[in-house]
Amino acid sequence: MSAPTSHAKLLNWVDEIAQMVTPDAIQWCDGSQGEYDRMIQLALDAGLATPLDPVKRPNSYLFRSDPSDVARVENRTYIASTSPDNAGPTNNWIDPEVLKTTMRGLYKGCMAGRTLFVIPFSMGPVGSPIAKIGVEITDSPYVVANMHIMTRVGSGVLKVLGTDGEFVPCLHSVGKPLASGEADNGVWPCAPLDLKYISHFPEERMIWAYGSGYGGNALLGKKCLALRIASVQARDEGWLAEHMLILKLTSPQGKVRFVAAAFPSACGKTNLAMLVPTIAGWTVETVGDDIAWMKFGADGQLYAINPEAGFFGVAPGTSMKSNPNAMKAIERDTIFTNVALTSDGDVWWEGIGYDPPSGEVVDWKGKSWQRTEAAAHANSRFTARAKNCPAIAAEWQDPAGVPISAILFGGRRPGTIPLIHQARSWQHGVFLGSIVGSEVTAAALDVQAGTVRRDPFAMLPFCGYHMGDYFAHWLRIGETPGAKLPKIFCVNWFRKGADGKFLWPGYGENSRVLKWVFEQCEGTGQSIETPIGIMPAPGAIDAPVGLTNAAMAELLDVNRAGWLQELDDVRTKHYNKFGDKLPSALVAELDALQARLAA
């Protein structure tokens, strides 16, 4: 098939890669429905996909990955900048030339027996001035189909690229060449863990991934381009590329505020973005559930776009109670990965809100489920189209973005961190973002789930440069002349009581907290000053039905001893890592907070 572009740099790159990886065929993707269907057919033929019941779950498919290839692999994720100082202490640095030599060795002949797909994609509406174009080369039809949902793929993108437009080259291979006559035959193709590489070359704006077919390791527009590479571009160009959902909050009076919120992977961003308020008259609509690109508008406000076109959401725990909008978004046209299959040809997972129908349940490993282990993998996912979500906001594709009034930071914290507190200033807010901690979830393969780790701005696995410089960049953004900055808040839905149970019901009840955020933006909120920042005055947040006054007080308690311990941990185990790249303004915030707590 001849190439549908005359973009010389792109053609040369595809040529050069093809010579290295020696595919059987090359196919340029056009993003059409026919192409999507052909990708699914290839996966069905290879025994890698199962069609779901066409009445219960129209146009939807289940994939089961290899049990070794179920999540991002942080210790195989590299930032290959020329100097280790550009990657910083929180990234795995490797010399770009050394890495290229190693990876060229792996890529050599790696697409034998397979088709090389070229996927031109846009992060953000095609042609929008804030969108960025990437081109992914992959040998995985699963990746092509997922990219169709998660990004804007196709000929329109090539048109925008023209003959010399800028694009981020993204090379991906599952790392499993096929011998002549060999087929996948139901075995998810990937390479062993120690041969997997998720590599970023920030200075060249280039991505090379090898050996994994899963999620953020393989859908290179998402974490690799829209966060790791884009964060470097944002630093250089004066904007923000963040791991944040974007939601539209409308008051009973019809006043609209947009809120962005950063939480680590698998901490409920999708649920918050699609929340159904329990308080009368309020609505939440979704602009994005994972990534926000924010730039200043002429009026000095920060405007955010969601660069994605779909949701790659965590399945377990998603139910009509926790997230009815997600449940509706996945009713059709959805790819499920590593969930369980029921006897009536539908999907099932832990926390879906009902028992599976009688008959055999096939677990995520493809075995008859014996009920001794989870039926769905903890990081099993749905890939769903944003346009199928009933809560999608009218503005979700607005190329101008939406003006952000408030930014929330949060994580899973069983103790110390209250339900909500507000930063006293932008600088204090940057400090709060820089010290976010969260219990580790199943979204990454190689970190111990359950322990609390610092995850500044929820960007620990996604910042493409030195985290100390990233903090400085956030501080600089706050000094932009004429800026009308969003207010910054910290939230914690996950505080536990002495009995080990969650104190706060979460989900739709989080609307009570959003209402206070809205009121603070309007200047009508009732608040008090505390040593840790601004907090709701007693009674300013209505307690959900059934929540005792004592529980509410505990949720909003300033635990001085806990905070002092927290700050000691920040000083000695977190901030100390950044050396002279740690902005002195943040140390000043730490000292001042400690002094206020000790007073």
> How far apart are CB 442 and ligand SAT at their closest, in Å?
9
CB of 22 to ligand SAT, least distance (A): 29
Distances (CA, A) of 363 to 290, 376, 377, 379, 380: 27, 6, 8, 13, 11
250 within 8 A of 258, measured Cβ to Cβ: no
The nearer residue to ligand SAT, 71 or 130, going by C-beta atoms, is: 71
| Residue 228 touches which member of ligand SAT, Mn ion, none, C-beta under 5-8 Å by kind | none
Could you tell me the sign of the dihedral formed by the alpha carbons of 269, 271, 274, 275, in that order? Answer: negative
Residue 81 belongs to what H/E stretch? none
Cβ of residue 244: shortest distance to ligand SAT, in angstroms? 12
Select from ligand SAT, Mn ion, none the partner in contact with residue 336, using the beta carbon and a kind-dependent cut-off of 5 to 8 Å.
Answer: none
- What minimum distance in Å lies between the beta carbon of 302 and Mn ion? 20
Kindly report the CA angle at 11 between 142 and 148, in degrees rounded to 5? 25
- The least distance separating ligand SAT from the CB of residue 176, rounded to whole angstroms, comes to 20
257 binds, among Mn ion, ligand SAT, none (CB under 5 to 8 A by kind): none
The site partner of 465 among ligand SAT, Mn ion, none (C-beta below 5 to 8 Å per kind) is none
Q: Distance (Å, rounded) from C-alpha 381 to C-alpha 70?
A: 10
* Residue 240 in tokens: 């923000």
C-beta of 85: minimal distance to ligand SAT in Å? 26
Q: How far is CA 503 from the centre of its chain?
A: 26
Q: How far apart (Å, rounded) are the C-alpha atoms in residues 132 and 123?
A: 5
Spot the catalytic one: 267, 463, 490, 521: 267
Partner from Mn ion, ligand SAT, none binding residue 312, C-beta < 5-8 Å depending on class: ligand SAT
Binding partner selected for residue 515 from Mn ion, ligand SAT, none, CB under the kind-specific 5 to 8 Å limit:
none
Name the percent of the chain in helix, strand, coil, to the closest 5: 30, 25, 45
Nearer to ligand SAT, 211 or 215 (CB): 215
Residue 217 near residue 117 (C-beta atoms within 8 A): no
Count other C-beta atoms under 10 Å from residue 559's C-beta.
17
Measure Cα distances from 292 to 225, 384, 402 in Å.
Answer: 13, 18, 10
Q: With respect to Mn ion, which residue has the nearer C-beta, 265 or 397?
A: 265
Contacts to ligand SAT by CB under 6 A: 72, 215-216, 222-223, 265, 312, 443
The 3-state DSSP class for residue 465 equals: coil
Sign of CA dihedral 349, 351, 353, 359: positive
Q: 31 or 410: whose CB is closer to Mn ion?
A: 410
* Pick 406 or 443: Cβ nearer ligand SAT: 443
Q: How far is the CB of 381 from Mn ion (least distance, A)?
A: 11
Under 8 Å CB-to-CB from 231, ≥6 apart: which residues? 241, 459, 462, 463, 464, 465, 470
Of 222 and 421, CB closest to ligand SAT: 222
Residue 490 catalytic? no
Q: Which is nearer to ligand SAT, 14 or 71 (CB)?
A: 71
Closest residue (Cβ) to ligand SAT?
216
Binding site for Mn ion (CB under 5 A): 265, 290
**Strands 132-138, 168-173: pairing kind:** parallel
Catalytic (active-site) positions: 267
